[in-house]
Amino acid sequence: MSEPSHFDRGHTDDLMTFLAASPTPYHTVANAAERLEKAGFRQVMETDAWDAGTSAAPGAGSGGTYVLRGGAIIAWYVPEGAAPHTPFRIVGAHTDSPNLRVKPRPDSGTQGWRQVAVEIYGGPLLNSWLDRDLGLAGRLSLRDGSTRLVNVDRPLLRVPQLAIHLDRSVNADGLKLDKQRHMQPIWGLGEDVRDGDLIAFLEDTAGVPSGEVTGWDLMVHSVEPPAYLGRDKELLAGPRMDNLLSVHAGTAALTAVAATGAGLPYIPVLAAFDHEENGSQSDTGADGPLLGGVLERSVFARGGSYEDRARAFAGTICLSSDTGHAVHPNYAERHDPTHHPRIDGGPILKVNVNNRYATDGSGRSVFAAACEKAGVPFQSFVSNNSMPCGTTIGPITAARHGIRTVDIGVAILSMHSARELCGAKDPFLLANALTAFLEG
């Protein structure tokens, strides 16, 4: 076994920068793509021909390539001399997080307040969005068919909580929030609510001519930056760790492996999907055709046949990396009594015999080998039998593509909060384990 990985705070500092710059899935994949470009990867378009005889075909020669679609990115590196049937090693993750998203008619208000109409996305902890300074970001679709990213990263919105004087029982009976009535943020004063005001404001912010925005995908985010926490700064608090922590680690691992490149027995892949938080059923979700289509076209671009594709998929392994639950000091009884993942204890291996996670014994061996190679400790997670178990893109990837899949991640607290908490060392340990896995 190699020497244990010494903690590099620089990796966690970089994660904080990545989190702050990625308020939406669209910003996330743009930032990941920028890092890949700096590492020598090139973007290819799905609408272009990937013919085997074309020198510019993705995967026709060695090197790094990526595809963007909406809030998803697939990136892969073909080592020199890779055969068409060379298997893939995939790090899977997702780019979306539970939040508040702007409705088609966003301008609303009452009682002299101007508000923004929002819809609840995924399963957020609603109370975590109350009395918090909120920005607004996303993707604007323009009249000419192009898109423009926008990010108002300053206090713009607020979801105000009702004062305790008007809800005297809140501390004794708990906070009860109606998703429709109580979660609409305010953004100003005025009796005259006019359709188009919010979009006009965003057009001006993004430098888009008035009236050019014909569609939008907009969401609310906390503008409080990530920060170290604790006496010795051993904790990290920040937004969207579920699951940008894994996207960041996967991007770092792929670029690290590509930098060495020579002699890789597998083709390393990063697959970061959108819409995991609401079931993954979209053209950019794990239950869609994106990953399978890209991998197949890569095989065929290297002169492969359907037989080569089948051989490659049969030897492929995916690590589905997503956050999991660290043992909570105030609610330890909610966890399995013999499985208490701890902060900064290394990545977790997720197991559920009812296939809410895809891990089996052989998958455990693959992950254990990667951690041993990297000198990284790991922990096991299993749900308390009396508590329902969540799920990930792991079982979806395994079932849709016939790919052996292992569910892993980093243990955190406050999952699905507007601001989550992890150990400062764990992101670095995860990246090291993923690097060792991609190296084979």
Annotated binding site for Zn(2+): 94, 165, 416
Distance in angstroms (rounded) separating the CA atoms of residues 366 and 96: 27
Residue 400 sits at φ, ψ, to 5 deg, of -75, -35
Structure token digits, residue 327: 């043992």
For the purposes of burial, counting CB atoms within 10 Å of the CB of 332, is it exposed (0-12), middle (13-18) or buried (19 or more)?
A: exposed
How far is the C-alpha of 102 from the C-alpha of 138, rounded, in Å?
10
Which residue from 112, 129, 397 is spatially nearest to 280, judged by alpha carbons?
397
For 130, 154, 183, 358, the CA distances from 124, given in Å and listed in that order, are 12, 21, 12, 24
Cα(204)–Cα(348) distance, integer angstroms: 45
On whether the CB atoms of residues 394 and 406 are closer than 8 A, the answer is: yes
- Residue set of the binding site: 94, 165, 416
User: In the β-sheet with 317-321, what is the strand arrangement from edge to edge?
Assistant: 42-43, 63-69, 72-78, 267-273, 88-94, 317-321, 404-409, 348-350, 379-381
Q: Would you tell me how many other CB atoms lie within 10 Å of the CB of residue 190?
A: 11
Nearest CA to 154 out of 226, 223, 238 is that of 223
Does the N-terminal peptide bond of residue 354 adopt cis geometry, omega within 30 degrees of 0? no
